[in-house]
Amino acid sequence: MPSPCCTASHIIDSRFFAGGYGTEESRQVFCDYRRMQRWLTVEVALAQCQADLGIIPVYATTALTNTAHLELLDVSAIKNDIATTGHSLIPLLRAWQRVAGEEAGQFIHFGATTQDIQDTAQSLELRDITAILLRDLGDIIKVLAELADKHRDLVTIGRSHGQHALPTTMGLKMASWLDETLRNFNRLLSCQERLLVAQLFGGVGTMAALSEQGITLLNRFAETLGLSAPLSCWHASRDRLAEFVSVLALLTGGLARIANEVCQLARNEIGELAEPFSFGQIGSTTMPHKKNPELCEQVVVLARLVKANAATAFDTLCNEHERDYRAVRLEWVALTEASIFSCAAVHLTKSILAGLAINKVRIKENLDRFSVLVSTEALMFLLGEKIGKQSAHALIYEASVIGTGPDQEELLNRLISSPEVSRHFTRENLEEAIAPRRHIGLSGTIIDRVLAHVTTVPQLQTTPSLCRLRGTRICCEQLS
């Protein structure tokens, strides 16, 4: 019996592994049938606006509106016609004209060019994607704010260059995650203002086929679709899309930093944080004990893939003359992949943070074990009051790094045995000075500053609009 086969060859659409690379919600935005239905929706909006302005007859618009539904069209014929013509839109328009009737069909796509329709529809796709991302980022921000506040006083070891550094708090670490996520939330909001625009300028951007009412029609067309009207044609000017994918790269890169930190602190020798784990998950075919941080690793993978798509998006900026489809065809890949990967990244990050395990016992054990070594800055300033800061630095440096490095007791013994130290301090003075909780600085104040900023973002006080998927009753399976 031959092996079963399907055409879902891209990892995004894999019947087995798609869950790690996208969400069903985001994949539906770019579904072939929804994309074609969206083109019809844009065409109808154009016809209705033209009828309102007397450019085409009302009866034609009525017929076009009533028939602009993909389930009424011969999809197989469209597919075959695309293969024959090599054109992405004409086969759809021909199929629509056959259903709408010869007379009304003469007013289909009146005065527009293909890229006007497809660029406008793409803006609608990206409006849906930004709605999904803003909604889920809002959820992440709320969880991070709760975590930062809850663990504001949980003292832990701060690390730099992969080594123990100074005491900090888990709340401050999470406030840093929150602050960056807030910036990316605002970047996405700001980007929307430039990204979500209509396109209706004709073959070379002059509006020559739209008569003197071109600008009026553009404004009405954009308003009807809930988009903004651009000042000029952007057929060959793709900076809006490149900016959007760049924002996605920043956004997912920030989520990757969170995921990577959880991954690193989940190491067996550290054991302070861990992603959610449930019985039945298997980490290895050969090592039954493994609990791999695969959710965190996948967020990093997705961020790298989005970054790669950002490079592709920048390749769309250099176009020839008034129109160049090489940019558009790159966008069909880069925008789709970057959007779906980004939606997956925020979805996975929500899962990680919602079930984040914080091992307070292990955090305390690590802190107690290395409290002297992470408090050397405090010791340096304490000793510096009597012997000078630079002299104190040299003294603690020598006591800390000699040989293979001392443990806590050995370091204190070496310091107190120094005449320069024992002349001014007792061992009790040193032990009191190294208490980590005494050396978390303004952590609480900084956390409060970040938490206060959350309340200043109006869009976070209401749930962002859910994506407006313009559906069709036809199943995508029928396309194959």
Q: How far is CA 164 from CA 151, 267, 376, in A?
A: 20, 15, 11
Cα separation, 51 vs 53, in Å, equals 5
Q: Which residue type is seen at 135?
A: R
- The three-class DSSP label of residue 169 is strand
Catalytic residues: 161, 284
Residues 286-326: tens digit of each pLDDT? 666 667 888 999 999 999 999 999 999 999 999 899 888 88
Residues 21-42: tens digit of each pLDDT? 999 999 999 999 999 999 999 9
End-to-end alpha carbon distance in the chain: 22
Displacement of CA 45 from its chain's centroid (Å)? 31
- The three-class DSSP label of residue 53 is coil
Question: Please, is 17 exposed, middle or buried when counting C-beta atoms within 10 Å of its C-beta (0-12, 13-18, 19+)?
Answer: exposed
Confirm if 344 and 26 have CB atoms less than 8 A apart: yes
Cα separation, 127 vs 197, in Å, equals 10
Nearest to residue 158, comparing CAs of 414, 456, 367, 408?
Answer: 367
List of the chain residues with pLDDT < 50: 1, 403-404, 463-474, 478-480
Task: Say what the pLDDT of residue 5 is.
Answer: 59
Residues 397-433: tens digit of each pLDDT? 887 776 445 566 777 888 888 888 888 888 888 878 7
**Residue reference for tokens 């959820």:** 139
Task: Say what the pLDDT of residue 386 is.
Answer: 81
In the numeric block, which tokens belong to residue 31? 């579904």
In the numeric block, which tokens belong to residue 51? 């009828």
Task: Say what the pLDDT of residue 468 is.
Answer: 46
Cα separation, 81 vs 86, in Å, equals 8
Task: Say what the pLDDT of residue 285 is.
Answer: 58
Confirm if 433 and 382 have CB atoms less than 8 A apart: yes
Task: Say what the pLDDT of residue 287 is.
Answer: 63
Task: Say what the pLDDT of residue 384 is.
Answer: 84
Task: Say what the pLDDT of residue 288 is.
Answer: 64
Task: Say what the pLDDT of residue 402 is.
Answer: 67
Torsion of Cα atoms, 312 then 318 then 320 then 324, to 10°: 30
In the numeric block, which tokens belong to residue 62? 């009525």
Nearest to residue 136, comparing CAs of 37, 251, 27?
Answer: 251
Task: Say what the pLDDT of residue 419 is.
Answer: 84
Task: Say what the pLDDT of residue 479 is.
Answer: 47
Cα separation, 119 vs 453, in Å, equals 36
| pTM exceeds 0.85 | yes
- The three-class DSSP label of residue 266 is coil
